[in-house]
Amino acid sequence: MPLIVTGTVGIDTVYTPDHGHRENVLGGSCTYFAAAASFYCKPVRVVAAVGEDFPPELRQTMDRFEGIDHAGLEVRKGSKTFRWGGKYLDNMDQRETLYTDLGVLAEEPPAVPKAFRDSRYVFLANTHPAVQLGLLEQLPQRRLAVADTMDLWIETARPELERLCGLIDGLVLNFDEAEQLTGKRNTVAAARRILDLGPRFVVVKKGEHGCLIVHKDGIAALPAYPTEEVVDPTGAGDSFAGGMMGALAREADADESLDPSAFGAIHRAVAHGTIVASFNIERFSLDRLATLTRAELDERYRRFAGMVRFG
Amino acid sequence: MPLIVTGTVGIDTVYTPDHGHRENVLGGSCTYFAAAASFYCKPVRVVAAVGEDFPPELRQTMDRFEGIDHAGLEVRKGSKTFRWGGKYLDNMDQRETLYTDLGVLAEEPPAVPKAFRDSRYVFLANTHPAVQLGLLEQLPQRRLAVADTMDLWIETARPELERLCGLIDGLVLNFDEAEQLTGKRNTVAAARRILDLGPRFVVVKKGEHGCLIVHKDGIAALPAYPTEEVVDPTGAGDSFAGGMMGALAREADADESLDPSAFGAIHRAVAHGTIVASFNIERFSLDRLATLTRAELDERYRRFAGMVRFG
């Protein structure tokens, strides 16, 4: 059953401390999410907008991933595609934004096509929570809805974000955003406070330190996959979410009796997200996902399971 | 078979952002290590020195832990006990040192008593690597030797530290120290470089983010035990090492054919260290370990295994 993602398709320029830079490469939350999710379930439906400047070669890269339905990708005449430039600092876990050209992001949000309204698994990538609420309303048949957010919305749109939290099954955010949202420094305490707003689970991302799942039925912690190959962390969070949601949709499709927001299902899905994100950061942009195989994913997943399992 | 630890017994004053402060409480690497290890194996032999100012009530606290042999604890007439004062910053993962009164630490290191020379499992807590080398020489029957170190020695005694690395089975250090020692920002790459110096395994500690084991036979990653109860992180690293070494000694004693430096044994032992450290930080000083039971340790270990195991 279909997985849908709403977010951005953009053009990125990325500078890294050790691996040079890349200009005008494919980026955006939807792009990373959909590419990652496409390894686990089909179709992955994309709702986003680009301008008429969106280069055909970037569109070709997007089309290399099988099973992604771009019927919800609006190409707007007279508009500009979202562009972002960033520079990773020495530790690769922090970055500076060099520029942000909002382009279509400053316009009306894209609509959910009628044919997408029966989507069952919903991921609302990071955008203004009022927009996320509007998109969610257009997806009445959803079985599982998860949202991402960021510091900007916590600061400027808290009431809408809290309303959103009352309507979704899960929230994904960074550890510092969890603290900002709740005033709690301790990550477990912060996540528990977020559960009080409504979601059944929270996934707190800690970058190279992995993530924490705080669920109404339990807590789990996962390290990141330990790797020496980190070229470009851009899209790590979105590919993580794509792997997670794709794995959840696949598992729930295989077993109709499974509750896709159940603790065990989320735990396994987060492990899949961890693995696909660990591949994504090995090259710039979508380059690594473009050559990735299901066999490589499966092998690293098994290896990861062995790395964290003791006793 | 006996486990021996060489390090400090001290008097600490600790300030915390949320839980007030405590003055002149029991501290020191040997103290935390031995208390933690005593839950896993007996005897735990302590080699350290205090001054004649060492308060009887702190000695009584040490004696509450069964199975610790203090025959190697020198009480020096006319000398002062090591004292440390520290203040934890808001995030609890960073601290400022308020004062350090070296006392006996500025004198001759304590000798290993003759009766301790048959010790099989050796932990050299953090001190000058030349002193660690001298202690190691007095333990010719060792089956497993692991050392801790710190930034100061990496900066001021690198040749001795590198020599020590050639003689030990394992090194335990913080992630920033691993970077300092090797010039490698990536933790896996840094740990691999340390293996080139001699040890069979490296445990890289990341505080609240858990740790990474890089072993000649594999890599494992463990999150910290996710807890909301963090009162005083002092001794987290030493109690972690105590749990790890105690569990290793217990397992190797139970099965003579087991190589205590084998990857699987280290992995399980690090999980035990993680658990005992997670209790230690719930109260000031040794307060939590003093009331801890074997049943509590076992229960949290099982719960932790479930938290990290997926699939």
Q: Which residue of B has its CA nearest to A211?
A: B223
Interface check A189 vs B, CB under 8 A: yes
Least Cα separation, residue B57 to chain A (angstroms): 33
Query: What's the pTM value of the predicted model, to 2 decimals?
Result: 0.93
Amino acid identity of B95? Answer: R
| pLDDT for the residue A111 | 94
Domain A3-308 fold: UDP-N-acetylmuramoyl-L-alanine:D-glutamate ligase (3.40.1190)
Least Cα separation, residue B105 to chain A (angstroms): 35
10-residue mean pLDDT series, chain B (311 residues): 94 96 97 98 97 97 96 97 94 88 94 96 96 96 96 95 98 97 94 98 96 97 93 96 97 92 96 98 97 97 93 72
Q: Which residue of B has its CA nearest to A212?
A: B226
| pLDDT for the residue A137 | 96
B226/A187 touch (CB, cutoff 8 Å), yes or no: yes
Span A28-74, pLDDT tens digits: 999 999 999 999 999 999 999 999 999 999 999 999 999 999 999 99
A310/B220 touch (CB, cutoff 8 Å), yes or no: yes
* Residue of B202, B250, B308 to mutate for A, most A C-beta atoms under 10 A: B308
Is residue A253 over pLDDT 80?
Answer: yes
For residue A283, what are the CA distances in angstroms to A98, A238, A287, A288, B192?
A: 20, 15, 6, 5, 22
| pLDDT for the residue A25 | 97
| pLDDT for the residue B310 | 86
Residues of B in Cβ contact (< 8 Å) with A209: 206, 209-210, 223
Percent of chain A with pLDDT over 90: 95
B226/A271 touch (CB, cutoff 8 Å), yes or no: no
Interface check A209 vs B, CB under 8 A: yes
| pLDDT for the residue A229 | 86
Span A281-300, pLDDT tens digits: 999 999 999 999 999 999 99
Residues of A in Cβ contact (< 8 Å) with B219: 226, 307
Phi-psi sector, A210: left (phi>0), alpha (psi -120 to 50), beta: left
Interface check B248 vs A, CB under 8 A: no
A223/B223 touch (CB, cutoff 8 Å), yes or no: yes
Q: Is A231 helix (H, G, I), strand (E, B) or coil?
A: coil
Rg of the Cα atoms in chain A: 18
Is residue A93 over pLDDT 80?
Answer: no
| pLDDT for the residue A39 | 98
Q: Which residue of B has its CA nearest to A213?
A: B307
Residues of B in Cβ contact (< 8 Å) with A206: 209
| pLDDT for the residue A311 | 72
| pLDDT for the residue B311 | 72
For residue B173, what are the CA distances in angstroms to A25, A93, B51, B220?
A: 39, 21, 28, 16
Span A131-147, pLDDT tens digits: 999 999 999 999 999 99
A86 neighbors A101 (Cβ within 8 angstroms)? no
Least Cα separation, residue A230 to chain B (angstroms): 9
A104 neighbors A49 (Cβ within 8 angstroms)? yes
Show the tokens assigned to A23.
């200009």
Residues of A in Cβ contact (< 8 Å) with B307: 218-221
CA torsion angle A295 A299 A304 A307 (round to 10):
180
Q: Are strands B21-27 and B10-15 parallel, antiparallel or unpaired?
A: antiparallel
Query: Could you state, in order of their start, the residue ranges of all structural domains in chain A?
Result: 3-308
In angstroms, the CA B166 to CA B155 distance is 18
| pLDDT for the residue B124 | 98
Residues of B in Cβ contact (< 8 Å) with A185: 90-92
Q: Which residue of A has its CA nearest to B193?
A: A228
Is residue A24 over pLDDT 90?
Answer: yes
Is residue A112 over pLDDT 80?
Answer: yes
Residues of A in Cβ contact (< 8 Å) with B186: 228, 230
